[in-house]
């Protein structure tokens, strides 16, 4: 059977180990070819090919449900659930999503974008099953990196309290999340990887007792107690912890041995209550380059399969915002030992790996634990440290309660650096940085700023680390800057809440925030060609607003346009409109931003065009909206 013939995972039933191995090779070939051509996540999926095939061969996927933690390890799942023929549209507009989506396939039982959610979701489905009197299996597949997330541990705590609820948790242990794992749990899991399988010991013990003449059949209760004692001796500490928490622990199992995996899963399905199967895998398995560089090949832009090297851009690009951020932070930290960078398992993505390399004592990786990262930073701020919390906009949502209670209510000087703010492209709705302006703007004591370009970002880094009056946040986009000149050091701090005028005109007042400042300038140029002259302001701050500058201009010009790369509801434009109303300035306001929709996966350029956020589209809206007023004035 060829992989292209598999449209339903139940077609794996009855296949021999040799046939499954052939399917595994074909999955890796298709996976590698697709990601090398179009880009995407690489290492995670390559590591779970055998795990996926073995698990699905032991389930009836017309009834049973598998919940994947973080969809980027589920590419093999997609390839055997009817998406082989369209897999070359991966992460492209209107194509196969890079994560799991319930609307994409009946086999995607739960959307997965952020880590540590699968056990909670699987347990919820298992409890719903039992309430309805149904009978099907539920399995959660979670990585060891995601196991460091508090939500996963909360779910384990709950599931272990339900001894009659059948639930299978498959722990995919490859010693990695995106970067090498940190913390006590991964350290203990590593000890377990080196330990002999526990289930064999206890089962073998039972067989030996059964063959003792006259007593073998009469030792049932005693035998169970002996077996439990043997488990305590045989299982390493974390295995014993899972057992104490109410799970039956099985493993570690070789995650690339199909025969062993199938036998283990079959046995796990027969056990009552919650079961945890510990599977040891290799991230990037089957592609030697990815196996050797598991961080670099977690995800890749298009690359050469033979050499593993990225396909170079047609022309040199300006430095990425994250690179400019990391350079500025390292320079400032070198002269201020109180500056400490904090990441939640995203060192390379945020650029904090550079701080780690240069000043390891001023760097903390808490693992996939954003809530902990925020409160940790709050407490460090209490002690006079200057914590810089670098987290993607989408991931900081997970620490919102801590931002409110532990930072803002106590008015602590924590500097939040929100990478990937705005439209991020191929990762889709779960990763778009749409909401940070809205969800932070409403919090007392919080200062919000966003740079118009990479040079202003350097100034804002200096501003943020030196601001001690309370919490402050800076958002900046994914991708490259504009190529403006940069300073190596000595950046001047910006005055809090002060904007700047970039262009003057009497017809329209345009207020750009962050990544939409340069597009605002382009819009102004297009309008000028039609005889409409705009004043353009780089707001810099969404909170506090520069009302001394903005309000008189709004009243004088009488037509206001706001531009932001984020949700328009409650965002920067809303802040401007509220300020105008509060000051009895009743002028028309057009808010340009992302409407109340989920932004799907596509290139950022495609998404901007679809949302009507390109300069020509915005200029056309402004002309049409204000045409009567402008004609009357002219």
Residues forming the active site: 283, 370, 398
Look up residue 377 and give its two tokens: 């930073």
Concatenated DSSP letters of 85-101: TTGGGTTSTTS--SSB-
Q: What is the CA angle 92-98-103, rounded to 5?
A: 90
d(CA 277, CA 142): 11
Block residue for tokens 């056309």: 620
d(CA 144, CA 140): 13
Look up residue 594 and give its two tokens: 């992302």
Q: What are the distances in angstroms from CA 293 to CA 12, 24, 42, 583? A: 32, 22, 11, 57
Backbone φ and ψ of 205, nearest 5°: -60, -40
Look up residue 482 and give its two tokens: 């504009």
Q: What is the CA angle 325-396-310, rounded to 5?
A: 50
Q: What are the distances in angstroms from CA 614 to CA 120, 435, 522, 523, 610? A: 40, 20, 9, 9, 9
Give SS3 for 535: strand
d(CA 292, CA 1): 31
d(CA 261, CA 51): 7
Strand 508-512, strand 534-538: pairing: parallel
Residues with Cβ within 8 Å of residue 162, at least 6 apart in sequence: 123, 127, 246, 273, 274
d(CA 23, CA 52): 11
Query: Which one-letter DSSP state was computed for residue 182?
Result: -
Concatenated DSSP letters of 35-94: HHHH-EE-HHHHHTHHHHHHHHHTS-TTT-EEEESSGGG-HHHHHTTT-STTGGGTTSTT
Q: Give the number of C-alpha atoms closer than 13 A to the C-alpha of residue 252, restricted to the C-beta side.
A: 23
Is 205 in contact with 215 (CB distance < 8 Å)? no
Look up residue 45 and give its two tokens: 């999926």
d(CA 247, CA 159): 8
d(CA 466, CA 94): 45
Is 98 in contact with 90 (CB distance < 8 Å)? yes
Long-range contacts of 179-183 (CB under 8 A, 24+ apart): 179/295, 179/345, 179/346, 179/347, 179/348, 179/353, 179/365, 180/295, 181/144, 181/145, 181/148, 181/345, 181/367, 182/148, 182/345, 182/365, 182/366, 182/367, 183/148, 183/366, 183/367
d(CA 524, CA 559): 14
């Amino acid at each position: 059977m060829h992989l292209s013939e598999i449209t339903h995972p139940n077609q794996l039933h009855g296949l021999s180990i040799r046939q499954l191995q052939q399917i595994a090779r074909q999955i890796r070939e298709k996976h590698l070819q697709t990601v090398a051509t179009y880009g995407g996540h690489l290492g995670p999926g390559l590591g779970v090919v055998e795990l996926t095939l073995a698990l699905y061969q032991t389930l009836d996927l017309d009834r049973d449900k598998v919940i994947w933690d973080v969809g980027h390890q589920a590419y093999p799942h997609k390839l055997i659930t009817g998406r082989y023929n369209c897999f070359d549209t991966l992460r492209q507009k209107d194509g196969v999503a890079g994560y799991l989506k319930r609307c994409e396939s009946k086999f995607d039982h739960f959307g997965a974008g952020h880590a540590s959610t699968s056990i909670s979701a699987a347990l919820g489905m298992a409890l719903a099953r039992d309430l309805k009197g149904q009978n099907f299996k539920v399995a959660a597949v979670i990585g060891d990196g995601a196991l460091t997330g508090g939500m996963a541990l909360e779910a384990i705590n709950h599931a272990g309290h339900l001894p009659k609820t059948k639930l299978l948790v498959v722990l995919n242990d490859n010693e990695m999340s995106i970067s090498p794992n940190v913390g006590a749990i991964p350290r203990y899991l590593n000890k377990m990887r080196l330990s002999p399988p526990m289930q064999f010991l206890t089962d073998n013990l039972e067989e030996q007792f059964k063959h003792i003449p006259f007593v073998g059949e009469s030792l049932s209760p005693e035998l169970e107690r002996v077996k439990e004692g043997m488990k305590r001796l045989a299982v390493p500490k974390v295995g014993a912890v899972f057992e104490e928490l109410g799970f039956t622990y099985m493993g570690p199992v070789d995650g690339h041995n199909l025969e062993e995996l199938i036998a283990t899963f079959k046995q796990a399905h027969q056990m009552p209550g919650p079961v945890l199967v510990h599977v040891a895998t290799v991230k990037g398995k089957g592609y030697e380059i990815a196996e050797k560089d598991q961080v670099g090949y977690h995800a890749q832009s298009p690359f050469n399969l033979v050499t593993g090297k990225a396909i170079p851009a047609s022309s040199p690009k300006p430095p990425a915002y994250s690179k400019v951020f990391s350079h500025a932070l390292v320079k400032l930290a070198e002269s201020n030992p109180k500056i400490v960078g904090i990441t939640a398992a995203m060192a390379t993505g945020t650029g904090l790996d550079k701080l780690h390399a240069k000043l390891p004592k001023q760097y903390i990786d808490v693992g996939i634990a954003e809530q902990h990262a925020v409160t940790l930073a709050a407490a460090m701020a209490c002690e006079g440290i200057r914590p810089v919390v670098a987290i993607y906009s989408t991931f900081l949502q997970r620490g919102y309660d801590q931002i409110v209670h532990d930072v803002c209510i106590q008015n602590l000087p924590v500097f939040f650096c929100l990478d990937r703010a705005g439209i991020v492209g191929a990762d889709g709705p779960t990763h778009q940085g749409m909401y940070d302006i809205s969800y932070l703007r409403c919090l007392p004591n919080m200062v919000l700023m966003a740079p118009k370009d990479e040079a202003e970002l350097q100034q804002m880094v200096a501003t943020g680390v030196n601001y001690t009056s309370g919490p402050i946040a800076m958002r900046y986009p994914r991708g490259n800057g504009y190529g403006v000149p940069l300073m190596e050091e000595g950046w001047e701090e910006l005055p809090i809440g002060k904007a700047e005028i970039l262009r003057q005109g009497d017809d329209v007042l345009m207020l750009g925030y962050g990544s939409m400042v340069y597009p605002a300038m382009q819009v102004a140029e297009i309008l000028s060609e039609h005889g409409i002259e705009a004043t353009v302001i780089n707001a810099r701050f969404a909170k506090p607003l520069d009302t001394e500058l903005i309000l008189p201009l709004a009243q004088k010009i009488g037509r206001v346009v706001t531009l932001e790369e984020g949700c328009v509801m409650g965002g920067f434009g809303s802040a401007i409109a509220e300020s105008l109303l509060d000051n009895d300035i009743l002028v028309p306001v057009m808010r340009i931003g992302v409407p109340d929709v989920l932004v799907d996966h596509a290139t950022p350029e495609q998404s901007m065009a679809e949302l009507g956020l390109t300069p020509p589209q915005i200029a056309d809206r402004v002309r049409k909206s204000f045409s009567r007023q402008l004609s009357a004035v002219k």
